[in-house]
Amino acid sequence: MRPALTTLSEDEVQFRDAVRGFAENEIKPHVHDMDQKAKMNPDIVKKLFEMGLMGIESPEKFGGAGSSFTMACLAVEEIARVDGSVSVLMDVQNTLVTNAFIKWGSPAIQEKYMPKLATEWVGAYALSESVSGSDAFALKTRAELKGDKYILNGSKLWITNGLEANVFIVFATVDASKGYKGITAFIVEKDFKGFVVGKKEDKLGIRASSTCELLFENCEVPVSNILGEVGKGYKIAIETLNEGRIGIGAQMLGIAQGAYEAALGYIKSREQFGKPIAEFQGVQFQIAQMRVDLEAARLMVYNAARLKDAGLDFIESAAMAKLYSSKVAEKLTSMAIDLFGGNGFTKEYPVEKFWRDAKIGQIYEGTSNMQLQTIAKIELGS
């Protein structure tokens, strides 16, 4: 058990410890089964709502906790320490969907959707398409105004929470001639006419997290379900993803922490040449380096979250935090497998799953190359 960091307040430490206990008791017993079946346990989703972990920043008047972005990141980290799939479900709910509704939703939109998102509805964020990954605004999904409705046609790929979600923030182009300034964010409910959740991807890691295709065929969306303003979808996407990257940094931090703790316990019990392998200096140096990397990643993630909460410029810090923590997660989970030896390569032990779950951190919500590009542009003033 690591000591509490001095950067956390007493309330934050208590909250972190409560989430850790919840993850250990309510999530951990189901991790292996969910990974094997590639399916989220619906009872866990229900318990996330009961714990208040699906509306951490949502105002109390909407049934949320009215807490901070940093608290949300602490929860993501602690859950990822046990399971990356559950952590990304609640991460998307908090750092992408709820944040977007808080910042861009009209009073009527907030009154309609935020109480449900805080207490019972899972949300999803639908930006990516087959030709729109790092080139986020090369969207092919179109929205045409007809009377009091927009008609959406197109498809989305790699959408987290696709199977569990009741409501989706969907980005589509209302005027292709305007380029990115024609992009608009729409709020689409699961049962809207013309909307279907397509196939679920069979993934390397975070297998219990549903990553799905979304299909829109003359999907009818009321004009009142525009999030923000027409043509401002690009701004919503950029600003929300900047925040979401800190959440992914927290997820990667938690995955790395889980692998580190598993390795630390194993080397104390695994004996070779008549003594625990923890007594060999080569192993001790690896553990020391893992601990240093973890601390550096944690400070970067927490710093970015603090800047966001303080209303200060956090874009470069968010990019750095995601870039570095995702590299640390991949490195430390691989080292953990090495320390477990042959056992680490089997599914009987947890570290191979941590390694599989870690890889996505360098891909989604902005690849590592995109984070480097963001940092370079800021440093060069371009």
Q: Is residue 173 part of a domain?
A: yes
Closest CA to 339 of 359, 357, 355: 355
pLDDT above 70 (res 2): no
**Per-residue pLDDT, 6:** 47
> Where does a domain end: 177, 211, 231?
231
Does residue 315 register a pLDDT over 60? yes
363 falls within a domain:
yes
Q: Same structural domain for residues 222 and 281?
A: no
What does the pLDDT look like over 122-164, one tens digit per residue? Answer: 999 999 999 888 887 889 999 999 999 999 999 999 999 999 9
- Residue 3's pLDDT is what? 44
Specify if 206 maps to a domain: yes
Q: Which pair of structure tokens corresponds to residue 271? A: 């004996």
The confidence score (pLDDT) of residue 131 equals: 87
Instruction: State whether 75 and 130 are in the same domain.
Output: no
Catalytic residue annotation: 365
Instruction: Tell me what pLDDT residue 380 has.
Output: 97
Which CATH number goes with the domain that contains 223?
2.40.110.10
pLDDT over 60 (residue 21):
yes
Q: Looking at the structure, do residues 366 and 249 belong to the same domain, yes or no?
A: yes
Is the pLDDT at 1 greater than 60? The verdict is: no
Residues 145 and 63 occupy one common structural domain: no
- Contact (CB, 8 A) for 348 and 332: no
Average pLDDT over the chain reads 96
Q: What is the pLDDT of residue 42?
A: 98
Is 5 a member of any domain? no
Both 86 and 153 in one domain: the answer is: no
Write the pLDDT tens digit of every residue in 213-270. 999 999 999 999 999 999 999 999 999 999 999 999 999 999 999 999 999 999 999 9
Find the CATH number of the domain harbouring 279: 1.20.140.10
Domain shared by 216 and 239, yes or no = no
Last residue of a domain, one of 178, 196, 231: 231
Is residue 321 located within the same domain as residue 338?
Answer: yes
Q: Determine, yes or no, domain membership for 167.
A: yes
Q: Are residues 105 and 133 in the same domain?
A: no
Cα gap 376→173, rounded to integer Å: 29
24 and 78 together in one domain: yes
Which range marks the domain in which residue 21 is found? 10-122
- Residue 24: Cβ within 10 Å count: 13
Q: Is 291 inside any structural domain?
A: yes
- Among 122, 157, 176, identify where a domain stops: 122
With respect to residue 278, please indicate whether it lies within any of the assigned structural domains. Answer: yes
**What total number of domains does the chain contain?**
3
Q: What is the per-residue pLDDT across 317-365, written as a single tens digit (0 to 9) for each?
A: 999 999 999 999 999 999 999 999 999 999 999 999 999 999 999 999 9
Q: Is the pLDDT assigned to residue 5 strictly greater than 70?
A: no
Claim to verify: residue 376 and residue 276 sit in the same structural domain: yes
Query: For residue 123, what are the β-bridge partners?
Result: 167
Residues 40, 143: one domain? no
User: What's the whole-model pTM score?
Assistant: 0.96
Domain harbouring 67, CATH code = 1.10.540.10
Backbone φ and ψ of 215, nearest 5°: -120, 130
> For residue 200, is pLDDT > 90?
yes
pLDDT tens sequence across 43-99: 999 999 999 999 999 999 999 999 999 999 999 999 999 999 999 999 999 999 999
Tell me if 3 is assigned to some domain: no
Q: Are 226 and 138 contained in the same domain? A: yes
Q: What is the pLDDT of residue 136?
A: 75
